[in-house]
Amino acid sequence: MSRGPQEILEEWLVIEAQSGSSDALQAVAHRWYPRLVGHAYRRTRQPEAAAEVVQEAWIAIIRGLRGLEDPARFRVWAYRIVDRKAFDWIRQRRRGRELVSRLADDPSLHGPECDPGVEARRRESESREEPIEHLRSALRRLPDDSRILLSMFYVDGLSVIEIAEALALPEGTVKSRLFHVRKRLRESFEDRS
């Protein structure tokens, strides 16, 4: 697979940053911060949490940058660090939610999502959606892992191999999951007609 000018520039910036160039490190951060925040947001579903996760990830990236043996692997390495930090954040929040859920057994604390009519109204409104709104709605209903795979592939432009490495999954699993999520979206549109 041949590398384009952007990949070569990014690799050079990483090499310069590893050599101690603060300008190169700043350029790397400027190029990657928005993409990594987007990835963290897809994991945490909260803008503030995404920023917090990426801030912690950048600390780890800066500390470990000199130890990165292959500068061409920076993006996979950075995504993997963000992924780990996001999972740490999710784990911490899950513990707090479990405590809250034990306290929330009172039916009066449950909101309109307990109303059976809410689901029926949602389905009715979806039947009148425009195609782009239907796509957005179908994407929102996907599990987080499926949305993340689609975003990494279509938005971030990572290859199947890079996604597999970043998420610590076998390449075949990534291919299979992408296939199934595309199929699910296609069926969503076919059911609509």
Judged on CB neighbours under 10 Å (0-12, 13-18, 19+), 154 is exposed
pLDDT beyond 50 at 14: yes
37: nearest Cα among 93, 90, 8, 78 = 78
pLDDT tens-digit map of 112-122: 444 555 555 55
Measured between alpha carbons, how far is 99 from 159 in angstroms, rounded to an integer? 39
Provide the pLDDT for residue 90. Answer: 87
**Contacts (Cβ under 8 Å, ≥6 apart) of 85:** 40, 53, 54, 56, 57, 60
pLDDT tens-digit map of 25-40: 999 999 999 999 999 9
Residue 7, helix vs strand vs coil: helix
74: nearest Cα among 150, 8, 171 = 8
Measured between alpha carbons, how far is 64 from 51 in angstroms, rounded to an integer? 20
Question: How confident is the model over 87-96, as a mean pLDDT?
Answer: 81
Do 73 and 159 form a contact (C-beta atoms < 8 A)?
Answer: no
> Which of residues 37 and 130 earns the better pLDDT score?
37
9: nearest Cα among 70, 67, 72 = 72
Average pLDDT of the chain is: 82
What is each CA distance from 107 to 50, 95, 114, 165, in whole angstroms?
Answer: 32, 22, 9, 44
167: nearest Cα among 153, 154, 155 = 153
Provide the pLDDT for residue 110. Answer: 44
Question: How confident is the model over 119-129, as a mean pLDDT?
Answer: 53
The rounded percent of the chain whose pLDDT value lies above 70 is: 80
Segment among 4-8, 43-47, 90-94, 170-174 with least mean pLDDT: 90-94
Please state which architecture CATH assigns to domain 1-110. Answer: Orthogonal Bundle (1.10)
Q: How many residues are listed for the chain in this entry?
A: 193
Provide the pLDDT for residue 67. Answer: 94
Q: Does pTM top 0.75 for this prediction?
A: no
Residue 45, helix vs strand vs coil: coil
pLDDT tens-digit map of 153-188: 888 888 899 999 988 899 999 999 999 988 888 888
Provide the pLDDT for residue 152. Answer: 87
Do 57 and 66 form a contact (C-beta atoms < 8 A)?
Answer: no
